[in-house]
Copies of this chain bind each other. A is one copy, B any other.
Amino acid sequence: MPIERRIEFDLIARIRARVGPGDPELLVGIGDDAAVFLPTPGLALVSTTDSLVVGRHFHQDWPAADLGHLALAANLSDLAAMGARSRWALLSLTLPEADPVWLDAFLDGFLALARSTRTTLIGGNLASGPLNLGVQLIGEIEPERIARRSGARVGERILVTGCLGDAAAALGLGDRAGPELVRRLRRPEPRLAAGRALAGRVSSLIDISDGLLADLEHLLPPDCGAEIELGQLPSSRALIAARADPGERWPLQLAGGNDYELLMTAAPERVPALKGRMEALGLRLSEIGTLTERAGIRCRRPDGSVLEPARTGWDHFGD
């Protein structure tokens, strides 16, 4: 057997040993041609995939454990944006070399987040080539609770969980970014519990991965627009400490990607109950604007003047 395939089998055995037998619904796990599992009767299945590419979604020198966390978190965030529970994961790794130390550290980050979100790793694929970290997730949801991107209406309020701009600030600051901002960039917490609590109670829901303005565009009804109140954009203490001038924070909060917060629309009368639900989860929910009949997105400063953002979305590391 060529050495390389033997190493591949060793790596798969390593992953398998760390994952364990899995839940009783898992009929066939890692090590066969495919995984087999029993879905929960009556629930719909939710499936998503996302790949992290070096130089675009992460830097070469980031710790492998952070990459394991981030690759799973980016996918969990998509399930959160549907209102789903996470259940099963496949891991599709293309690696330039078979490095068990790197893989163990990657699994540390991946499996810790998998455990805390009740996600079972059931299979995957290892290939040799330029680094590419692919994850596929299958979750479950009650069909009547699916949270879609469509459904927003003029006059509704725009709301967002947590804080915006931390990850973009960390990217911009590089080595000078403090641990709190770095954690938000490399170890984002997918808003699964928030998604579950919001599903069925908001008119539209999406996660912010490309940037607030870019992702908000997906929620706009045809020929409609939005007005964002810049003074209401939620800032963490770490971001305020790093960027005291709001005029410096806004571009990061409007167009900075990798926030992995949930963005939604809801009728004004529903907002207090939504805030109560998020508060119960220890999560901030901020009203940041309104859907308008006027097409396009306008960002208004607290003094009423309009900010024209240089760009609406962060093309990850690409620009």
Contacts and interface: CB of A to CB of B under 8 A. Distances in A.
Interface residues on A, range: 35 or more
Given A82-B32, A312-B1, A318-B2, A47 B37 contact: yes
A81 B136 contact: no
Interface in A56-75: 56-57
A232 interface: no
A311 B1 contact: yes
B34 A78 contact: yes
A99 interface: no
Interface stretch (A120-128, A172-180, A221-229): A120-128
A129 B52 CA distance: 10
A189 interface: no
B143 A38 contact: yes
A191 to B, nearest CB: 12
B90 A146 contact: no
B127 A49 contact: no
Contacts of A146: 27-28, 36
A177 to B, nearest CB: 23
B90 A51 contact: no
A274 interface: no
Contact of A35 (B48, B127, B217): B48
B44 A5 contact: no
A319 interface: yes
Contacts of A81: 33-34
Contacts of A138: 45, 47, 138
B206 A33 contact: yes
15 contacts: A2-B311, A32-B82, A32-B149, A33-B48, A33-B79, A34-B79, A35-B47, A36-B44, A36-B47, A37-B47, A38-B44, A47-B90, A49-B134, A53-B127, A57-B127
Given A34-B46, A129-B132, A130-B130, 16 more contacts: A5-B315, A27-B44, A27-B146, A28-B82, A33-B82, A34-B47, A34-B78, A36-B47, A39-B39, A47-B90, A47-B122, A49-B125, A51-B94, A51-B132, A56-B128, A92-B134
